[in-house]
Amino acid sequence: MISLASDMTDRKGRHARGWLFFDAECAFCTGIARWLVGPMKRRGLAVAPLQDPRVGTLLGLSPEELLRAIRLVLTDGTHYVGAGAVLAVAGELWWAQPLVWVAKLPGMMSVTRAGYRWVAQRRRCPAERCTMDQVASRN
């Protein structure tokens, strides 16, 4: 587990208006989470690993289900998963707004979801490219 768990969920994230939960065992995911900590904090949002035992209890999901996708959960109960979470975070960041605009074009949301699934299936591969056996074994 990385240090963001205690830093974000125990102290800094306690009064957040929402949390972005990510796979802390994925180097790609962890890199993005670390990059987003500052911008998210400035918007009243926190970042925390999906592996934190409190997350499964909070969302009522099994560990296997939790790790299928990133999740953005707001204090008002709104819950975004996968591509929806990516776009909700993009909506919070002025420099990522073009992603939201493009996703609103006809047919682009299905492309966005397919792109997210493609990346998510390959996010833990040790090499640049996954073999289909590696992808299948994680699903």
pLDDT in tens, 23-81: 988 888 888 999 999 999 999 999 999 988 888 888 888 888 888 899 999 998 899 99
Backbone angles phi and psi of 72, in degrees to 5? -115, 120
CA distance 95 to 107: 23
**Prediction pTM value:** 0.76
Domain total of the chain:
1
Whose CA is closest to 20, among 77, 80, 98, 76?
A: 80
Q: What is the pLDDT of residue 114?
A: 94
Domain encompassing residue 67: 4-138
CATH number at residue 129: 3.40.30
For residue 55, what are its two tokens?
A: 């997350």
For residue 21, what are its two tokens?
A: 């939960």
Query: Cβ distance 41 to 12 under 8 Å?
Result: yes
